[in-house]
Amino acid sequence: MSEVTIQYLVLDRCDPSCNMARYYVLAIEPSLFGDATLIREWGRLGRSGQRRVELYENQSCAMEALELWLERKRRRGYLVRGG
């Protein structure tokens, strides 16, 4: 049985002056067919949000996409939770 690793990041963007409290989750998980998936979930803190699943042919391609989304979100003011 192969080892399955799930990698994920949780980002927050909070600004009380404009009533903003948002989250963004980036996760890489294996698909049922052995491909890699990048799962993006976002919304307002305390509420259910939207979710999008993107398929990639391997984990390194999914990791590149995760890093691209992470950079986009950092430019928008999101911070990695706990770091």
DSSP one-letter code for 29:
E
How far apart CA 83 and CA 57 sit, in angstroms, is 30
Q: Which helix (H) or strand (E) holds 10?
A: strand 7-15
List, for residues 33-73, the tens digit of each pLDDT value. 888 999 999 999 999 999 999 999 999 999 999 999 999 99
Sheet strands side by side (includes 50-56):
50-56, 36-44, 20-30, 7-15, 79-80
Q: Which pLDDT value is given to residue 66?
A: 95
Residue bearing the bigger pLDDT, 81 or 7? 81
Give the percent of the chain with pLDDT over 90.
Answer: 75
* Residue 1 pLDDT > 60: no
Tell me the CATH class for 7-80: mainly beta
